[in-house]
Chain A
Amino acid sequence: DAGITQSPRHKVTETGTPVTLRCHQTENHRYMYWYRQDPGHGLRLIHYSYGVKDTDKGEVSDGYSVSRSKTEDFLLTLESATSSQTSVYFCAISDLPNTGELFFGEGSRLTVL
């Protein structure tokens, strides 16, 4: 399995609190992604990064920010969590520009009460 870990794996928080999810890779891949998965919506891209300090928005970026200060870490921050952000969040890495195959982490389940 690709060396990719997400933390925390589970989190319960209250509306209005800030939350940060961390994705850590040991593969030295340039591309990293954050997706959220909700029933009926599949995987929706939040943000992705194509290098240190290089990020771009995805389909559902409102309410989320990201940072990538070093190759191995990609942080997803919810500045003020809302109940609509209750979801399973997946981080993924890609070896673009090679095969472009995505390797996913195990997911982080976030519940916002």
Chain B
Amino acid sequence: GQQVMQIPQYQHVQEGEDFTTYCNSSTTLSNIQWYKQRPGGHPVFLIQLVKSGEVKKQKRLTFQFGEAKKNSSLHITATQTTDVGTYFCAGHSGNTGKLIFGQGTTLQVKP
């Protein structure tokens, strides 16, 4: 079945450094979504990418969807302590409502 792999599992950075998490799917995705979960909280939607090669930005966050629609990345420029949390990618494959999540990348930011 569909699998979504995400790396790295953990990342520790100094405040001000950049951070990137990568997401790879075993199947072609119809779209990719990104979520953020703060410690002790629930996942919160960040963005959805639909088109091949799409790039979207939200302030210091840049999201990319690969040309083959099987991979994606999230890049944070100049991390801040408020960026701490776990970032998940999730993908729909085909026309079902089944949304499969990656394992997540937990970001720690040292002030």
Q: Which chain A residues have a beta carbon within 8 Å of chain B's beta carbons?
A: 31, 33, 35, 40-45, 48, 50, 56, 58-59, 90, 94, 96, 99-107
Interface size on B, residues (CB 8 A): 23
- Where chain A touches its partner, the secondary structure class is strand
Query: Could you tell me if B33 and A101 are in contact, using CB atoms closer than 8 angstroms?
Result: yes
Chain A nearest CB from B94 CB (Å) reads 12
Chain A nearest CB from B3 CB (Å) reads 9
Q: Give the distance in Å from the alpha carbon of A103 to the alpha carbon of B33 in the complex.
A: 12
Q: Give the distance in Å from the alpha carbon of A42 to the alpha carbon of B35 in the complex.
A: 12
Chain A nearest CB from B9 CB (Å) reads 7
Q: Give the distance in Å from the alpha carbon of A39 to the alpha carbon of B102 in the complex.
A: 12
Residue B31 lies at the interface, judged by CB distance under 8 Å to chain A: yes
Residues of B contacting A99 with CB < 8 Å? 48
Q: Give the distance in Å from the alpha carbon of A56 to the alpha carbon of B91 in the complex.
A: 17
Q: Give the distance in Å from the alpha carbon of A76 to the alpha carbon of B90 in the complex.
A: 22
Which of A40, A96, A101 is B103 in contact with, Cβ under 8 Å? A40
Q: Which chain B residues have a beta carbon within 8 Å of chain A's beta carbons?
A: 1, 6, 9, 31, 33, 35, 42-45, 48, 88, 90, 92, 96-104
Q: Give the distance in Å from the alpha carbon of A68 to the alpha carbon of B4 in the complex.
A: 28
Chain B nearest CB from A78 CB (Å) reads 21
In order of increasing CB-CB distance, the 5 nearest A-B pairs are A42-B103, A43-B101, A104-B42, A42-B104, A101-B45
Query: Could you tell me if B88 and A103 are in contact, using CB atoms closer than 8 angstroms?
Result: no
Q: Contacts A56-B96, A102-B33 known; A45 to B101 CB distance under 8 Å?
A: yes
Known: A43-B101, A45-B98, A56-B96. 5 other contacts (CB 8 A): A45-B99, A48-B97, A59-B100, A102-B45, A106-B42
Q: Give the distance in Å from the alpha carbon of A33 to the alpha carbon of B97 in the complex.
A: 9
Residues of A contacting B43 with CB < 8 Å? 43, 90, 102, 104
